[in-house]
Chain A
């Protein structure tokens, strides 16, 4: 899976399932402060990522992620 494919999948579920405004989904966006993703949303994102990418996010692996770009990096690394 290419980086571009990963970004497309993530962007799609952020829009469709987490219902985030498409216009603010930018690589430098802060997950919490810009995109408004809260702790309960992350519980749902664990499920969505498992369904789309076939692996389960471990909470301790993502607690330092700040931006969407870092989240893409994290998924890309896990998919290697």
Chain B
């Protein structure tokens, strides 16, 4: 798609609030140092979880930053998203005056707001009266809670919708923002992904015995591609990305952090929880074709790999099919845990931090390869390396796959 008439889409703002840091500087350091954000949440055991492991994410303090009416409708994941977006807007050089004078859109990934739903349910059980719920629950409970709140807080007037695509939600939000800008429908879109981390939010996922139970060493529990992996660790927070048309960014004098050059997608059309190497290959191949590059141009793959036995094996097969063992591969989920609805967006932020700072973050806890991962060039330690093109993968339940190509600029 590269050509003089094609509108280029660049990243001019980034914001992150996660288990490995509450801003870009903290997260960059954690990524470089291979620091884990995983811990134990005793409340989960009391609640009836099989695994108490989770990414540890503090609740942000927004009182004094947002007035009450803007806070009342914010669910936990919306609070994370607000903090990440404040940083993204700041790095983009976009203030409220600019937002009042210019149209900015939003595509944000989110696929649950469990705590808000359960809290409202608990009031109903006790009071049996909807009039005693208050005004907040409706705005906190809907799947679109993040976009409806961010668009209000930041007074956004462009395209406005939530992307719900399981663990690929954040990635598809960036992909769709990329397409909207490339095709001239918008000049700036806030993209991202948010994920709640409370004990209510992951109970039904824990029901599948998908989570690691390596509770004696939380920081070593998330081990993508390692032969000893025993499941993922849920995590969360939010990541925000300002996508902007290149010429628009130049005219505005914005810092250009990286360019999004390709978006690929596919659906497996098979069993609801099973991954498919064919689906992964199709999404990645589409992203490469969209970017107009060969697989050999990719220096680094930020893998989806969540530390589940089957998911990681399937992605390793797909990566081997498409790349052989050439590019460096790591899953930052080894440090963050699986940030689910947020992951596709946060991993774009992590990838851009690596691009900008010329390193590949390690796939910590990768000690023993299995039959598939032994063919991959997995970064077991931080690698100082100038990167040209990065591929970021996200795959979700229901077989939704997304891949993004991000180019250094």
Q: Are B135 and A40 in contact (CB under 8 A)?
A: yes
In the complex, what residues of A have CB within 8 A of residue B136's CB? Answer: 44
A5 interface residue (CB < 8 Å to B): no
CB contacts under 8 Å to A, within B242-264, are none
Can you list, as one digit per residue, whether each of B124-161 has a CB less than 8 Å from chain A (1) or not (0)? 00000101111110000000000000000000000000
Q: Which candidate, B33-41, B66-74, B208-216, is the interface stretch facing chain A?
A: B66-74
**What 1/0 mask marks residues of chain A from 20 to 58 whose CB sits below 8 Å from any chain B CB?**
000000000000000000101101101100100000100
Complex formed: what's the CA distance from A47 to B126 in Å?
A: 13
Interchain CB contact under 8 A, A56 and B131: yes
Taking CB as reference atom, which chain A residue is nearest B131? A46
- A41 and B132 in contact, given A18-B68, A19-B68 (Cβ under 8 angstroms): no
A8, chain B: closest CB distance, angstroms: 21
Residues in B with CB closer than 8 Å to A38 are 69
Q: Which residues of A contact B131 (CB under 8 A)?
A: 43, 46, 56
Interface residue range, chain B: 10 to 19
Q: Which residue of A lies closest to B71 (CB)?
A: A19
Q: Are B135 and A44 interface neighbours, CB within 8 A? A: yes
Does A44 contact B132, Cβ atoms closer than 8 Å?
A: no
Contact of A46 with B68 in the complex, beta carbons under 8 Å: no
Q: How far is the CA of A64 from the CA of B131 in the complex (A)?
A: 19
List the B side residues contacting A19 at CB < 8 Å. Answer: 67-68
Q: Is the CB of B69 within 8 A of A40?
A: yes
Bitwise, B318-334 to A at CB < 8 A (1) or not (0) is 00000000000000000
Interface size class on chain A is: 10 to 19
- Which one of A41, A47, A56 has the greatest number of beta carbons of chain B within 10 Å? A47
Contact yes or no, A43 B135, CB < 8 A? yes
Contact among B67, B68, B69, B132 for A47, CB-based, below 8 A: B132
Closest A residue to B133 by beta carbon equals A47
Neighbouring A residues of B72 by C-beta, 8 Å: 40, 44
In the complex, what's the smallest C-beta–C-beta distance from B408 to chain A, in angstroms? 46
- From the candidates A18, A40, A46, name the one contacting B132 in the complex (CB within 8 A): A46
- Please report the C-alpha to C-alpha distance between residue A40 and residue B138 in the assembled complex, in whole angstroms: 11
Bound: A40/B71 CA distance, A: 13
Instruction: Please give me the residue from chain B that is nearest to A48 by CB atom.
Output: B134
Chain B nearest Cβ from A31, distance in angstroms: 15
- Report the minimal beta-carbon distance from A47 to chain B, rounded to whole angstroms: 4
Q: Which of B67, B69, B135 has the most CB of A within 10 A?
A: B135
| CA of A50 to CA of B133, assembled, Å | 11
Which residues of chain A have C-beta atoms less than 8 A from B68's C-beta? 18-19
> Of A18, A43, A44, A56, which one neighbours B129 at CB under 8 angstroms?
A56
Determine the distance from Cα of A29 to Cα of B212 in the docked complex, in whole angstroms. Answer: 58
Question: Is there an interface contact between B135 and A56, defined as CB atoms closer than 8 Å?
Answer: no
CA distance A41 to B68 in the complex (A): 10
| B132 engages A56 (CB within 8 Å) | yes
Q: How far is the CB of A55 from chain B (nearest CB, A)?
A: 11
Query: Which of chain B's residues has its CB closest to A51's CB?
Result: B132
B165-194 near A? 1/0 per residue, CB < 8 Å: 000000000000000000000000000000
Q: For the complex, what is the distance from the CA of A38 to the CA of B135, rounded to whole Å?
A: 11
Task: Return the chain A residue nearest B73 by Cβ.
Answer: A40
Are the C-beta atoms of B134 and A43 separated by less than 8 Å?
Answer: yes
Complex: how many Å from CA A46 to CA B69? 16
Residue of B129, B133, B135 near A41 (CB, 8 A) is B135
User: Residues of B contacting A40 with CB < 8 Å?
Assistant: 69, 72, 135
Given A19-B67, A19-B68, are A50 and B134 also a contact pair (CB < 8 Å)?
A: no
Please give, as numbers and ranges, the residues of chain B lying within 8 Å of A50 by CB-CB distance: 132
26 A-B pairs in the complex with CB atoms less than 8 angstroms apart:
A18-B68, A19-B67, A19-B68, A38-B69, A40-B69, A40-B72, A40-B135, A41-B69, A41-B135, A43-B131, A43-B134, A43-B135, A44-B72, A44-B134, A44-B135, A44-B136, A46-B131, A46-B132, A46-B134, A47-B132, A47-B133, A47-B134, A50-B132, A56-B129, A56-B131, A56-B132
The 8 A-B residue pairs with the shortest CB-CB distance, nearest first, are: A43-B135, A40-B135, A19-B68, A47-B134, A44-B134, A44-B135, A47-B132, A46-B131
A40-B135, A43-B131, A56-B129 known; 8 other A-B pairs, CB under 8 Å? Answer: A19-B67, A38-B69, A41-B135, A44-B72, A46-B131, A46-B132, A47-B132, A47-B133
Interface residues of B, Cβ cutoff 8 Å to A: 67-69, 72, 129, 131-136
